[in-house]
Structure 1
């Protein structure tokens, strides 16, 4: 049997970043928290926490905390059905989710807000990654649920289609005048500066290849921020692909100009959660599907 008192301490330390802050949350002394963790590590014969600022989990610690999160979510459901007061209420159950940046900046926050109105005992830990990489985060057990671009259901997951996100290649009017004075051509596109979200983001290159048959060079900027990605495009630093719901207002106002209206790629999105999950995750899944229905085609 696992020492869940010790796992509670381990989870709190990583969540809060230090033994001292974890002790304050748990209502214990830092010494008591340290003893719980050290005793558990000695029994396991392995280190669970890399001490530092902030503290980090080892591979085994990560695995055990994932297990602990699942247990806490299920305990939360049982406690609600039995009207039972949870002694570990100071450390809420956590659902770890991987979501792509474009979903966060458009529709997914609505799902989170709707879930928060229904559920007060679950903490959401949302990490942002490319939609092509979130499925791997789910497969590795790093997260409990994910918005992905993959329809291939994992054996232990229930996967539903959320719809499709349409994208628009666009740039500011000044950028268009400077780099495409005679219209967007293959030769001009190859030379024009463009933005790239991160190393996983091949979207602009794929679009250029599909629409114009050209290979792009190095981007003018890597910017791992969805908001800054749009702001730099509005500023005229480069062209890029953006979700249509995010830039539609700028296209109407003339603050952005579409490079080629005939080429609007669409990305299918899916929601994957474990098949064996409790009421809280069912409510979260419903909120996700409802929000996606409003935003996605």
Structure 2
């Protein structure tokens, strides 16, 4: 049996990124934090925390981190049932990609937070990498492209986000007008959301089976990314609705009206049935169904 205070300390160290910050959060000394972690590591006979900046859980530590958070969720629900006045609400760390946050995810979790008094902690990352946060024990659930269940987790298909290639009129005129799209896309300047964003290159490979050789700009902010494309920095992939709306209004040009890229998404979550976690799963699936499309065959 693992000590509850030691597990809570492990969670605090990983969430806060260091021993000093964890000590401040728990209102104990850094020395006490160190002693608790060392005691937990002695019991587990494993190194559980990498003493880096920020501190991160090891693979073995991730399993205990998941246990610590499951205990915290259960305790939070009991406190809510008893009407505990001093509870800050159940902490719900969730991994999700930026486009989902922008277009549908908040409609799932904002009402949930109000209804159940939970504290949302959204970890925004590329959809190809969110499952890793679940594997590390950092989150209770993740919107991800991975259909293979993380150990100890269940998977629900959500549908697919549909993307279309767009550009401002000057970019279209300079690089695409009168040209074969298969020739134009690899050469034209593009805008990537960040180093993990492969939507543009995936679309081009699917169309041409060639790599992109044109300039690649990176704008890792949702509003900034859209504005960069509208301003003419390069072409990029917009989700279906905004792409069509911008094209209809004359703000952007659909570069290939006949082609799109569908990215299937899945909801992975702990196999732990509680009122809050069950409500979270149902809310996420219901909200996704209003926006996402069935994946292409």
Q: How far did residue 193 of structure 1 move?
A: 1.0
1:226-270 CA-partner distances (Å, limit 9, x unpaired): 333222211211111111234444223222111010112323322
Can you list the C-alpha shifts for 1:81-119, whole angstroms capped at 9, x where unaligned?
4x17499x46x6433322222212211122221221112
Report how far residue 206 of structure 1 moved: 2.8
Cα distance per residue 1:161-206 (max 9 Å; x no partner): 3233221100111111122232453323232111233454332233
Q: Which residue of 2 aligns with 1:25?
A: 25
Alpha-carbon distance change, 217 to 289 in structure 1, aligned in 2, over 3 angstroms: same
TM-score, length of structure 1 as denominator length: 0.82
Give 1:94's aligned residue: 91
Question: Are 2:290 and 1:272 aligned?
Answer: no
CA 1:86–1:56: 2 relative to 1, 3 Å: farther
Q: Is the 8 A contact 2:244 2:254 kept in 1?
A: no
Query: Relative to structure 1, is the Cα distance of residues 189 and 27 closer, same or farther in structure 2, using a 3 angstrom cutoff?
Result: closer
CA offset digits 1:23-53 (Å, max 9, x no partner): 4433434454444334444555555445565
**Contact 2:59-2:136 within 8 A present in 1 as well:** no
Do the aligned partners of residues 252 and 41 (structure 1) sit closer, same or farther apart at CA in structure 2, a change above 3 Å counting?
same
Structure 2 distance, partners of 1:246, 1:32, is 52
CA separation in 1, counterparts of 2:91 and 2:176?
49
What 5-or-longer segments of structure 2 have no aligned partner?
none
Corresponding residue SS for 1:281: helix
Residue 58 (structure 1) shift:
4.2
State which drifts further: 39-48 or 279-288. 39-48
Q: CA contact under 8 A between 1:106 and 1:245: conserved in structure 2?
A: no
Q: Counterparts in 2 of 1:211-290, with a 5 A limit?
A: 211-212=207-208, 214-217=210-213, 219-290=215-286
What is residue 210 of structure 1 aligned with on the other side?
Answer: 206
Q: Which runs of 4+ in 1 moved over 6 A?
A: none
8 Å Cα contact 1:106/1:246 also seen in 2: no
**Aligned CA distance change for structure 1 residues 47 and 71 (closer, same or farther; 3 Å):** same
The DSSP-based 3-state class of the residue aligned with 2:15 is helix
Contact 1:171-1:259 at 8 Å conserved across structures: yes
Query: 1:266/1:47 Cα in 2 relative to 1: closer, same or farther (>3 Å)?
Result: closer
Confirm whether residue 130 of structure 1 aligns to residue 126 of structure 2.
Answer: yes
> Contact between 1:158 and 1:273, CA under 8 Å: does it hold in 2?
yes
RMSD in angstroms over aligned alpha carbons? Answer: 3.1
* C-alpha deviation, 1:2, in angstroms: 0.9
Q: Using a 3 Å threshold, how does the CA distance of structure 1 residues 156 and 44 change in structure 2: closer, same or farther?
A: closer
Contact 1:195 1:239 in 2 (8 A): yes
Aligned-pair CA distance for 1:155:
7.0
Match status 1:108 vs 2:100: no
Q: Show the counterpart of 2:14.
A: 14
Aligned residues: 293
The match for 1:4 is 4
| CA separation of 1:268 and 1:46: change in aligned 2, threshold 3 A | closer
- Cα deviation, residue 143, structure 1: 3.5
